[in-house]
Amino acid sequence: MAPRQRRIPPWLSAWMEAHEVELWGVADLQGFDTPVDDGGASFPLAISWAVPMDPHIMASIQDGPNQPYADEYERVNHLINELAHALANEITERGSQAAPLAASDRTDPVKIKGDFPHKTAATRAGLGWIGRHCQLVTKALGPWIRLGTVFTDLELPTGAPNDLGFCGTCMRCVEACPAGALTGESWYPGIPREDLLDVKACDAWKKENYFRFHEGHNCGICAAVCPAGLKLLKERRR
Check pLDDT > 60 for residue 185.
yes
Nearest to 124 by CA among 162, 94, 77: 162
Is the pLDDT at 111 greater than 70, yes or no?
yes
pTM for this model (two decimals): 0.94
Q: What is the pLDDT of residue 1?
A: 30
The mean per-residue pLDDT over the stretch 100-107 comes to 88
Alpha helices in the chain (DSSP H): 10-18, 55-59, 67-93, 118-124, 172-176, 199-209, 221-224, 227-237
- Phi then psi for residue 108, to 5 deg, are -125, 90
Give backbone dihedrals phi and psi of 126, rounded to 5 degrees, phi first: 85, 20
Give the pLDDT confidence of 128-141 residue by residue, as tens digits: 999 999 999 999 99
Radius of gyration of the chain (CA): 18
d(CA 138, CA 147): 11
Residue count of the chain, please give it. 238
pLDDT of 71 higher than 50: yes
SS3 for 10?
helix
Residues 227 and 173: beta-carbon distance below 8 Å: no
* Rounded mean pLDDT, 76-101: 98
Task: Answer with the residue of higher pLDDT: 50 or 104.
Answer: 50
Please state the rounded mean pLDDT for residues 156-162.
96
**What percentage of the chain carries pLDDT values higher than 70?**
97
Question: Residue 154, exposed/middle/buried by CB under 10 A (0-12, 13-18, 19+)?
Answer: buried
